[in-house]
A and B are shown apart, each in its own frame.
Chain A
Amino acid sequence: MTDMSGKVAIVPCSGIGKTFGTVSRVAAYQVTEDDRPKKTRLVSLAMLVMGDPESKSTLAESPAITIDGCAMACATKMVGQCGGRIAREFAVLDVFRRYHDFKPQGIADLNESGEKLADALAKEIDIEIDNLTSHEEGGHHA
């Protein structure tokens, strides 16, 4: 399911100034920098909106996981508009519903609960990435 590079594009909400947008970005950083750096590429939604060729190229090559901070679903919509292949859509609100104790607050810096929510979201994304890339690895062995 992945491309030749074997990487998955991670596209978080750009919601600067909104708590759930920050949760989406913190989760995306954790996935792409700490948890699964070799299997992922971070794509900036702002760059995508600006028509950045490299971002578009990444989406053309790799399946995308989008992380939306609100019901506007800008990340998912923008990837769709760019012709990207969306492998899975995440919404911070849905994750929050599964982890009610992790009430996020803060914008520039998340509170402890917000960090926990971002971590929970990142772990769900990790699983999705492993599923996507294991299919690819299985394909190579077949």
Chain B
Amino acid sequence: MTDFLETTIDKFTFRVDPACLYSGDDIWVRLEGGRAKLGMSDILQQRSGDIAFVDVKPAGTVLAFNEEFASIETVKVNVALISPVSGEVVGVNPALKLTPEVINQDPFGEGWLCEVALSDWDANRLLLLDAAAYLEKMKHDVSEAGKS
């Protein structure tokens, strides 16, 4: 069982998986056997709302850094998801087609989006935050949002 880092703000608790790295766009990256799985962070899925539809670029798609790799449609918003890594999509979570709600239910686990064969990891890694840093960024973002 994962020991998540977490912070509670008002009635919301946001979790951070310590085994992942994070982009400034709230996408998590987890290295698995030389490839990377990507998914939505907990705060991003909670802020977006219940996910009705998800569209992930299919296997074989070559992604550039900072390119849209997926989009979601929720009750509240449509969100384009930006890839924090470059490489080729080699797998898409098959559960998303029939049960996109797994992203809301288990964003760091069953709700993963796609798997990428990395092409420039050393450069991509430099721009990612570790879990502790991302937790602080998340707190800051929520605090700033509360002021506006």
Chain A residues proximal to chain B, CB less than 8 Å: 18-20, 70-71, 93, 96-97, 100
Contact = CB atoms under 8 A, between A and B. Distances in A.
Contacts of B105: 71
B50 A93 contact: yes
A19 B75 contact: yes
Please report whether the interface of chain A is mostly helix, strand, loop or mixed according to DSSP: helix
Given A19-B75, A93-B75, A71 B53 contact: no
Per CB-CB distance, the 5 closest pairs between chain A and chain B, nearest first, are: A93-B50, A96-B52, A71-B50, A20-B75, A70-B50
B11 to A, nearest CB: 12
A63 to B, nearest CB: 26
Interface of B: 49-50, 52-53, 75, 101, 104-105
Contacts of A19: 75
B52 A70 contact: no
Given A19-B75, A20-B75, A93-B75, A71 B52 contact: no
Contacts of B52: 93, 96-97, 100
A134 to B, nearest CB: 30
A70 B75 contact: yes
A100 B54 CA distance: 12
B75 A100 contact: no
Nearest to B74: A93
A70 B105 CA distance: 13
15 contacts: A20-B50, A20-B75, A70-B49, A70-B50, A71-B50, A71-B104, A71-B105, A93-B50, A93-B52, A93-B101, A96-B52, A96-B75, A97-B52, A100-B52, A100-B53
